[in-house]
Amino acid sequence: MIGQLDGREKYTYIIWRGADPESIAGFRDGANDSFMQAAGSADAMTVEVRLPGPDGESHLYTVGRPEPAEATTTLIPISDDRAVRVFSNEIFTADEAAVIFYTYYLTDAVSQPYVLRELDLSNELSELR
């Protein structure tokens, strides 16, 4: 499914743990608002994850590789008119993102060697394309 993102008509993909593990219906559990989402295209996408922090609150992060990011940023489309700006180490192909999603599916976590950059939700996170 994630490989079908094209950045023109299909922009986003999201998974979360359903409230009832015995059901295939994907209703979110209000007590556990963790999720993982991707946006962009199969060639260049960003991956974000919402996880509980040590303070008991949920935090939204962009997933990246541990290598240093270049100073320049890239706009990744999230809708017809909006995009998010990410660093070079935060851009993945669909194949790379699938591994991150699969690990999250199995463990509810982002594995090594990936790093997380917390997003400041008090600021606008997207901009006009």
Q: Which of 64, 80, 57, 40 is nearest to 116 (CA)?
A: 64
pLDDT along the chain (129 residues), means of 10: 88 82 58 85 96 89 91 92 95 96 94 93 89
Give the C-alpha separation, 113 to 123, whole Å. Answer: 28
pLDDT at 70: 81
Whole-structure pTM value: 0.87
pLDDT at 28: 53
